[in-house]
Structures are given as structure tokens and as C-alpha cells.
Structure 1
Amino acid sequence: MFGLIGHLTSLEHAQSVARELGYPEYADQGLDFWCSAPPQIVDTITVTSLTGQKIEGKYVESCFLPEMLATRRIKAATRKVINAMAHAQKHGLNITALGGFSSIIFENFNLNQIQQVRNIKLEFERFTTGNTHTAYIICRQVEQAAKQLGIELSKATVAVCGATGDIGSAVCRWLDARTDVAELLLIARNQERLFDLQAELGRGKVMELDEALPLADIVVWVASMPKGVEIDPSTLKQPCLLIDGGYPKNLGTKIQHPGVHVLNGGIVEHSLDIDWRIMQIVSMDAPARQLFACFAESMLLEFEKWHTNFSWGRNQITVDKMDQIGNASMKHGFRPLLL
């Protein structure tokens, strides 16, 4: 059985979802309550592969909210992730994906040092960040959506914002190895890591965001949006493909301009309906079939019986592993969301 650990996008969102799911004791509570709320299994899931194979899973609501990071409730945020992992393991889930901020919190705060949660010794091989599948899907979105818009990759400039992150660096490796992209622009806050990535690839230009965006035919956004940063869509090329790989996905509401096409990055569509409720509350256009690629990774690992932390650590994703998870993705009926 697979698991998904997730969270909602804001306190207001969490309150409305709690009311909808039948948790009135959560619905009218403020942030302090959510900081102490335990994880809950709120959905049971059945997924059918194109091969006919069926698997079952559980969705674990971590009760983490992004406001916890914004208000410096760091201990509450880290406790949420660890407790959700322990809850998933306690309920016998073989492989569980850390969705949204869960994997970022785990990595940034070195939660692998915490191995004991009350009476449970965490078995980290039961968990995956899902980042390998997410990176693969974003790369396929680059290739296929560019074709939809008539953008030839062999003549295109691709800017990767968040290039030194786990997903961003994997996207850069794929674009370098698997496509004939003409120019690669590397954008991130940590200059040392940027130059290390440039040396690894043997190509790419390290640039600031404001100078890179007007040059790009395709922008892959896999970084958090710093406060105060605004993108002026009139400065972008037309056509321009902007792939929003962040969470929550908000570039589509911030950037509305003729010729600028915003695509929700890292989202897959399944060929068959999935029996669940959870995607309805995160506003997917087709909630029975659309989901985050990181969640789909745990499903793929369960289908293939690869009960291991397939995606783990920082900047460990190889093109070969992207190929491996990509082949499994196609086999079981997942495809990238397109325009």
C-alpha cells in the first residue's frame, strides 16, 4: 500500500477543507490549533494501471500550513513532517511520497537526524520526495508544450529559475543530455552552487532573473517566489512558455498576457479515473485524473514493487533514474499535463 503526505495552501484553505471533509473541530480554529493538530488519514485511494493492476493507498494530511514558516513556527513545521511520516509508517504504508513543502522541510532542516518518533523508529526507505518523477514530467512538458506553441528547442533559450535545487538541477541535466536546446540560462540565489552546476553541465549561462527572463523562449520556474519580486509579462518574449513548477501554483493568476502561456508544471493526467476525494480540494481541473507528479511517484513505486526511497537527498537525480521512472509512468498510464 502506498501513501501520500500532503498539506493545504493556507489557514483559510485548511479551514474550508476541514469543514468539507467533516472535521468541524478543525474548521473554526486558528493557526495555534493547527500547530498542535496531529496528522490524520483523510482519504483512501484506489488506482488502476493501464496494465489492469490495482493498488490502494492512503492520504495523510500533515496539518502543516505555510504560515508556520512565515511566522517562524519552525519547530511546529518540522514536527508536522516527522509526525506525518511516523503516522504513515504506523499504518503499514510501504512507500509514501512527501508532497509540497514536506520534502523541502525534511531536507532543509536535516530531519534525517531524527530517527525515533515516540515508539516508532523511522525507516526512511519507506519514503520518497517524488522529485525524480516531477523533474521528468516537467522536462516532458518542456518538450511537448514547446511543440504545441511552435517553439523549436534547437533554436530556443530556456531559463531555469531555481536551477540549483533538486528538481531544477535534474531538469538542467535532462535538457542538456536529452534535448538539443540552443541556450540554457541558470538562475538561483546561491552563486557558488550555480557555478558548480555550470561546471558539471559544461554549458549554461549564470544570470540574474531580470536579465534572463526577456531572453527566454521557455521559463521553467521551480523556485519559491521571493517577496517583492514581480514579473512584468510585457518584457517576456511572445510566444513564451512559462512552466510553473512551484506549490502553490500562482503564476497563472499573476501573469496574464497575450502570447505568454502559463502551464502548471509537474502535473500528470492518468488515463483512468482514480477513486479518491483529495484532488477535488486542491482545485485540479479534472480531479479524478490529475495529480502532482510527486504523488504519482509513490503510486509507480507501488505498482512496480520498488519499495525504496527512489528520490532522496539533494541533487542526486540522474538522467538514468528519470528514464527509469518515466518508463514506468508511461507503462501505467500517466502523461504530462499540457496546454
Structure 2
Amino acid sequence: MFGLIGHLTSLEHAQSVAHQLGYPEYANQGLDFWCSAPPQIVDTIRVTSVTGQTIEGHYVESCFLPEMLATNRIKTAIRKILNAMAHAQKHGIDITALGGFSSIIFENFNLKQMPQVRNVKLEFERFTTGNTHTAYILCRQLELAAAQQGIDLTKATVAVCGATGDIGSAVCRWLNLRTDIADLLLIARNPDRLRCLQDELGRGKIMELEDALPLADIIVWVASMPKGVEIDPTTLKQPCLLIDGGYPKNLGMRIQHPGVQVLNGGIVEHSLDIDWRIMSIVNMDVPARQLFACFAESMLLEFEAWHTNFSWGRNQISVEKMDLIGQLSVKHGFRPLLA
């Protein structure tokens, strides 16, 4: 059995969908209540591969909300993710994907040093961040959408915002080894990590965000949007392809210009309907078919009976592992979202 650990995008979102989740008593509660709310299994899922194989899984709502980080409730956020992992393990889930901020919190706060959750010792091989599949899908979206837009990659400048993160660094490795892009611009907050990535790749220009974006034909956004940062679409190249790999996805609403195509990055579409309701709650356009690539990774691992932490640790994603998960993605009927 596979599992998905997720969370809602805001307190307002959580309040609005509490009835759909089956917890109407949560609907009028504030942040303090959600800070104390335990994880819950709120959906049972059936997925059928194009090979004919069918698997079952559960969606675990962690009751984490991004406002917990914004209000400096770091210990609460950590507790939320660890409790959700313990909840999944106690219910016998063999491989669980950490969705959204779950994987970011796990990595940034080194939760592998906290394996004991009350009477449960976490078996980390039961969990995957899903980042390898996400990175693969982002790269395929870039290649396919560029072709649709008439952008010649051999002449294109690609800017990766969040280049030193787990997903961002994997995207940079793929671009370096699997494409012939003309220029690669590296954008991140930590200059030491940027220099290490540049040394590893043997290429890439380290630039500030405001200097890099006007030069880019393609922008891959896999960083959180800092407060106060606004992107003026009139300063971007025309045409420009912007792939929003963050969560929640909001660049499409913030950047609206006829010369800029904003693509929801890291989203896959399955060839067959999935029996679940959770994707309608997170506002997928076609909720029976579309889902986050990180969630799909746990499904792929369950289809193959690979109950292992396929994606784990910071900057450990190789192009070879992206190739492997990409082959499984195609085999079982997933494809990158392009519209």
C-alpha cells in the first residue's frame, strides 16, 4: 500500500474544505486549533496502471499549514510532519511520499535525527520525498513546452530559481547533461552552495534574480517566493516560458502577459481516472487525472514493489535516477502536464 502526506495551502483554504475532508468542526477554527489537530487519513485511493495493475493507498492530511512557518511556529511544523509519518507507518503503509512543505521541512530541519515519535520508531525506508520524479517531470515539461513555443534550446538561456535545492540542483544536472542549452543562470540565496553547484556542473552563471530574469528565455521556478518580491512581466523576454514548480502555485495569477506562458510545473496527468477526491480539494483542473509528481512517485514505487526511500537527502538526485523513475512514469501511464 502507498501513502501520500499532504497539507492545505493556507488557513483560509483549510477552513473552506473542512466539510469536504469530513471534519466540519474544523471549519471555523483558527490557527491555534490547527496547530493542535492530529494527522488524519482522509481519503482512500485506487490507481490503475496502463499495464492493468491496480494499487491502493491512503492520503494522510498532516494538518500542517504554511502560516505555521510564517508565524515562527517551527517546532509545531516539525511535530506535524513527524506525527503524519508515524500515522502512515502505524497504518501499515509501505511507501509514503512527503508532499509540498513536508519534504522541505524534513530536509531543512534534519528530521532524520528525530526517528522516535512517542512509541513509534520511524522506518525511513518507508518514505520518499518524491523529488526525483518531480525533477524529471519539470525537465520534460521544459523540453516539450519549449518545442511548442518555438524556443530553440540550443540558443536558449535558462534561469533556475532555487538552483541549490534538491529539485533545483537536479534540474540543473539534467540541463547540463541531457540538453544543449546555450546558457544556464543559477539563482539561489546561499552563495557558497551556488559556487559548489557551479563547480560540480562546470558551467552556469551565478546571478541575482532581478538581473537574471530579463535574460532568460525559460525560467524554472523551484524556490519559495520571498515576501516583497514582484516579477514585472514587461521586463521578461517575449516569448518567455515560466515553469512554476513551487507550492502553492501562484505565479500564473501574479504574472499575466500575452508573451509569457506560465506552466504549472511538477504536475502529471494519468492516462486513466484515479478513484479519489483529494485532488479536487487542492483545485486540480482535472482532479481525476492530474496530480503532483511527488505523489505519483510513491505510486510508481508501489507498482514496482520498491518500498524504499528512492528520493532522500539534499542534492542526492542523479540524472540516472531521473531516467529510471521517468521510464516507470511512462510505463504506468503518467505524462507531464503541458496546458
TM-score by length of structure 2 reads 0.99
Q: For this pair of structures, how many residues does the alignment match? A: 339
Does residue 189 (structure 1) correspond to residue 189 (structure 2)? The answer is yes
CA distance, structure 1, for counterparts of residue 116 and residue 172 of structure 2: 36
CA distance in 2, matches of 1:280, 1:181: 37
The residue number in structure 2 matching 1:270 is 270
Q: How does 1:113-262 map to 2 (within 5 A)?
A: 113-262=113-262
Counterpart Cα distance in 1 of 2:301 and 2:194: 31
Runs of 5+ consecutive residues of structure 1 not aligned to the other structure: none
Counterpart amino acid of 2:319?
Answer: V
| 1:34-72 superposed Cα distances (whole Å, 9 cap, x missing partner) | 000000000000000010000000000000000000111
| CA root-mean-square deviation | 0.6
After TM superposition, the structure 1 stretch with the greater mean CA deviation from structure 2, 38-47 or 69-78, is 69-78
Tell me the residue number matched to 2:285: 285
- Deviation, 1:21, is 2.6
What CA deviation, in whole Å up to 9, does each residue of 1:149-181 have, x standing for no partner? 000101100000000000000000000100111
Mapped partners of 2:30, 2:285: distance in 1? 29
Identity %: 84
Per-residue deviation, residues 290-323 of structure 1 (Å, max 9, x unmatched): 0000000000000011110000000000000000
Q: Secondary structure at the match of 1:15?
A: helix
Residues 39 and 80, structure 2, Cα contact 8 Å, conserved in 1: yes
CA drift of 1:20 comes to 2.2
Structure 1 match to 2:36: 36
Q: 2 CA distance for matches of 1:21 and 1:128?
A: 24
Paired residues of 2:22 and 2:42 also in contact (CA < 8 A): no
Could you list the per-position Cα deviations for residues 213-248 of structure 1 after superposition, in whole angstroms to 9, with x for gaps in the alignment?
010000000000111110000000011000000000
The DSSP-based 3-state class of the residue aligned with 1:263 is strand
Q: Which residue of 1 aligns with 2:81?
A: 81
Structure 2: 5+ residue stretches without partners:
none
How far, CA to CA, are the matches of 2:253 and 2:4 in structure 1? 27
**Is 1:299 paired with 2:311?**
no
**Per-residue deviation, 1:28:** 1.2
User: Residues of 2 paired with 1:60 and 1:72: CA distance?
Assistant: 24
Q: 1:12 corresponds to which letter in structure 2?
A: E
Residues 96-128 of structure 1 deviation map (CA, whole Å, 9 limit, x = unaligned): 000000010111111111111111110000000
Equivalent-residue separation in structure 2 for 1:315 and 1:140 (angstroms): 19
- C-alpha deviation, 1:75, in angstroms: 1.0
Offset at 1:22?
2.6
- Structure 2 SS opposite 1:164: coil
- Distance across 2 between alignment mates of 1:327 and 1:34: 39
Instruction: Give deviations 1:261-288, integer Å, cap 9, x for gaps.
Output: 0000000000000000000011100000
> Secondary structure of 1:80's partner?
helix
List structure 1 runs of 4+ shifted beyond 3 angstroms. none
